[in-house]
Amino acid sequence: GESVGLHLPTLSVQEGDNSIINCAYSNSASDYFIWYKQESGKGPQFIIDIRSNMDKRQGQRVTVLLNKTVKHLSLQIAATQPGDSAVYFCAENAGSGGGADGLTFGKGTHLIIQP
Amino acid sequence: DSGVTQTPKHLITATGQRVTLRCSPRSGDLSVYWYQQSLDQGLQFLIQYYNGEERAKGNILERFSAQQFPDLHSELNLSSLELGDSALYFCASSVIGTPYNEQFFGPGTRLTVL
């Protein structure tokens, strides 16, 4: 399948600031998007998801924005904390396309929190 | 803790050998997915099983195979191992097999091929 990519491999932010992690996808058939967080030595952990019929979804301290026109996805983390340090992956699935049900992951952004 | 368990945690073997990785999904989850994570390829979907049946295939090599047993645990078999097969292998599970369901990932098995 087509790949999902991220704009920046590393993002460094001050503790307490808001973080924005971006992702560009290329499969226009994708209709389900997910953000995962992976801490060192652990498996990916679900953060938030969004379907293509929405452009914004909010969770606890996190917001995902979807711009289908430019095929762009972003994850906003409010008031970044040391525990937010991890690699963040966007993933997509062409759920309604009848294709493989596995997720296609981007390469990941390493979020570093500065004290 | 996601509720998905994987064994072993680490595996070191030699080229040409065969290994089996094991995954137990979360209680109640019928669908199991296998992913490979390597530095050069990132996280790649390999294969999915749903209630014992193969549901979808991704970038899985012919040397690799998987199955899901009646108790819903799954095994990933890797044979004729090559140096490039060294990677983290993750299992994930979801309640049902449709794409809009959250996939819960296990802690992974780190495979090193020498």
CA-CA distance, B98 to B85, in Å (whole number)?
29
In this structure, is the dihedral angle defined by the CA atoms of residues B15, B44, A20 and A59, taken in order, positive or negative? negative
Q: Select from A42, A51, A100 the Cβ nearest to the Cβ of B45.
A: A100
Model confidence pLDDT, tens digit, residues A70-94 = 999 999 999 999 999 999 999 998 6
Residues B92 and B5 sit within 8 Å (Cβ to Cβ): no
Interface check A59 vs B, CB under 8 A: no
Residue B99 to residue A101, Cβ atoms within 8 A: yes
Model confidence pLDDT, tens digit, residues A22-75 = 999 888 888 899 999 999 989 999 999 999 999 999 999 999 999 999 999 999
User: Which residue is listed with tokens 């803790």?
Assistant: B1
Residue B90 to residue A43, Cβ atoms within 8 A: yes
